[in-house]
């Protein structure tokens, strides 16, 4: 028996390996990762891990746990080719790994800024090693330019401010968080950053970058000049698909899988940031999610299906972000329909719902201190999963408990 091979020892691959054992699978399980570390959580890299003395890894398993569960973890080695006919993966150390079932959990990597002039002071954040390199240049008084007003850039802006750095965020779009975040929530986050002393320049294209290895000179399209000790580029992520593509598997904004996370090859599955899949709760619309919980859920689902469960993905997308004392949570896909405000920040938290044309609740977003929005978002998630069509007045009134809508 060749067993199950998992390529990519990140959130998804690591969880899938553990899930296989939880499910009672007794065959060989091999987890291959090109990073030198145990699988670890990436979310802290832009948050807590960045503000301490030095970033620390939050591993999702230990060597001892892998040994106890008979999971072979091969680190610092890259899978370079998949021979589908022979059911063998070629590894960068020259060895080959046979498989009965193969899971591709190769994640995503930062989108590269297609400009000349970048150098060692222009950095991206994806890995723990990236975080270490970045942290070395963050301290009180250091000048940090963040290119891209997305989640990672904004979380880093908050962390850099906490360390006393001077921070400028440059965003080409008319507002920060254009992708998937309602304007009202983005507005609250924008204000929070300004209140903490971050300068946000929206609607600003880049004209030129010059990095001499000591500082970075940035020319904006409108003629403004910014000089920084560090430029952090956070302009999105792209799925890692090369292995799948070279093996002849379909790519469609990620490795294309069905709702059971299967590729067209019945023995190859893909899950997590690297795959696109039909989202059942949204009528089978094909999406790719870059989210921690999705990576966990899909790792576990792929494990069940590789063992023959034949189970469709049914989860509602969910994402969170922490900036300063505020936590944002978004359930569902908020880019359609009518919006209804349930709570305002004056009530301790801001909660917004989105209804589709047919009245179905499709998304809920909330922001507030600490855990303030968690319960409402959790209940909304259940309403979304249940394809509920709650009355807009009920959603908008705090006198009506969300739990009662669920019962209805
Ligand atoms: C800084 C940061 C902050 C984040 N914060 C949040 C947050 O607040 N909330 C949230 O919901 N999500 C957050 N995320 C997103 C979340 O971490 C990801 O969605 C999740 O890590 C995806 O897991 P994955 O296993 O699919 O991919 P990854 O975690 O990227 O793991 C994939 C692994 O596969 C390896 N690999 C790729 N190709 C090969 C190959 N050929 N051979 C061997 N190994 C290979 C990669 O090096 C990597 O180690 C954050 C991400 C980052 C980077």
Q: pLDDT tens digit string along 227-279?
A: 999 999 999 999 999 999 999 999 999 999 999 999 999 999 999 999 999 99
Question: Do 199 and 248 reside in the same domain of the chain?
Answer: no
The enclosing domain of 128 has a CATH number of 3.50.50.60
Atom of ligand 1 nearest to the CA of 91: 42
Residues 212-231: tens digit of each pLDDT: 999 999 999 999 999 999 99
Among 295, 317, 320, 331, residue to substitute to test ligand 1 (most atoms within 8 Å of Cβ): 295
Residues 61-105: tens digit of each pLDDT: 999 999 999 999 999 999 999 999 999 999 999 999 999 999 999
User: CA 197: distance to chain centroid?
Assistant: 26
Among 5, 6, 8, residue to substitute to test ligand 1 (most atoms within 8 Å of Cβ): 8
Question: Do 12 and 157 reside in the same domain of the chain?
Answer: no
240 C-beta closer than 6 A to ligand 1: yes
Kindly provide the residue ranges of all beta strands, DSSP E only, lying in 122-264, ordered along the sequence: 122-123, 143-147, 166-170, 199-201, 206-211, 216-220, 225-228, 230-233, 237-239, 255-256
- Cβ atoms of 332 and 363 closer than 8 Å: yes
Atom of ligand 1 nearest to the CA of 8: 34
The enclosing domain of 342 has a CATH number of 3.30.390.30
Residues 156-194: tens digit of each pLDDT: 999 999 999 999 999 999 999 998 899 999 999 999 999
Contacts of residue 234, defined as CB under 8 A and 6 or more positions apart, other chains included, come to 110, 124, 125, 146, 147, 148, 150, 152, 153, 156
- Tell me how far the alpha carbon of residue 212 lies from the centroid of ligand 1, in angstroms: 30
User: CA 203, CA 155: separation in Å to the nearest integer?
Assistant: 20
- Tell me how far the alpha carbon of residue 294 lies from the centroid of ligand 1, in angstroms: 11
Would you say residue 35 lies in a domain?
Answer: yes
156 C-beta closer than 6 A to ligand 1: no
Atom of ligand 1 nearest to the CA of 322: 8
Residues 187-211: tens digit of each pLDDT: 999 999 999 999 999 999 999 999 9
- Tell me how far the alpha carbon of residue 45 lies from the centroid of ligand 1, in angstroms: 11
As a whole number, mean pLDDT of residues 275-302 equals 96
297 C-beta closer than 6 A to ligand 1: no
Atom of ligand 1 nearest to the CA of 11: 25
**Domain range for residue 163?**
112-233
Question: Do 11 and 83 reside in the same domain of the chain?
Answer: yes
**Total number of domains constituting the chain:** 3
5 C-beta closer than 6 A to ligand 1: no
Question: Do 30 and 76 reside in the same domain of the chain?
Answer: yes
């Amino acid at each position: 028996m060749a067993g199950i091979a998992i390529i990519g020892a990140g959130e998804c691959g690591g969880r899938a390996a553990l899930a296989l054992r939880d499910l009672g699978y007794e065959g060989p399980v091999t987890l291959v990762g090109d990073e030198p570390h145990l699988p670890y959580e990436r979310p802290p890299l832009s948050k807590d891990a960045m503000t301490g003395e030095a970033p620390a890894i939050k591993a999702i398993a230990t060597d001892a746990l892998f040994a106890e569960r008979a999971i072979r973890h091969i680190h610092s080695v890259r899978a370079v080719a998949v021979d589908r006919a022979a059911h063998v993966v070629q590894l960068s150390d020259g060895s080959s790994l046979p498989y009965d079932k193969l899971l591709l959990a190769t994640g995503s990597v930062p989108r590269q800024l297609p400009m000349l002039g970048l150098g060692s002071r222009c950095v991206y954040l994806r890995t723990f090693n990236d975080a270490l390199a970045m942290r070395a240049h963050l301290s009180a008084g250091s000048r940090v330019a963040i290119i891209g007003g997305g989640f990672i850039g904004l979380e880093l802006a908050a962390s850099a401010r906490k360390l006393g750095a001077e921070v400028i965020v440059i965003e080409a779009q008319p507002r920060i968080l254009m992708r998937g975040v309602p304007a009202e929530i983005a507005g609250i986050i924008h204000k929070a950053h300004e209140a903490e002393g971050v300068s946000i320049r929206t609607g600003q294209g880049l004209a030129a970058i010059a990095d001499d290895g000591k500082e970075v000179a940035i020319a904006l399209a409108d003629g403004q000049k910014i000089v920084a000790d560090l430029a952090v580029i956070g302009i999105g992520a792209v799925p890692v698909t090369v292995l799948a593509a070279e093996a002849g598997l379909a790519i469609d904004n990620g490795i294309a899988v069905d709702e059971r996370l299967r590729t067209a090859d019945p023995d190859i599955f893909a899950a997590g940031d690297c795959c696109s899949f039909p989202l059942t709760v949204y009528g089978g619309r094909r999406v790719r999610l870059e989210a921690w919980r999705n990576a966990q859920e899909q790792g576990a689902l792929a494990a069940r299906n590789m063992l023959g469960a034949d189970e469709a993905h049914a989860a509602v997308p969910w994402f969170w972000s922490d900036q300063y004392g505020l936590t944002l949570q978004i359930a569902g896909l908020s880019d359609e329909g009518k919006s209804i405000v349930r709570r305002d920040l004056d009530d301790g938290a801001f909660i917004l719902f989105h209804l589709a044309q047919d009245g179905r609740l499709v998304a809920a977003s909330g922001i507030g201190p600490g855990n303030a929005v968690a319960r409402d978002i959790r209940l909304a998630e259940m309403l979304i999963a249940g394809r509920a069509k709650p009355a807009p007045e009920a959603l908008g009134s705090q006198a009506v408990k969300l739990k009662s809508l669920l019962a209805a």
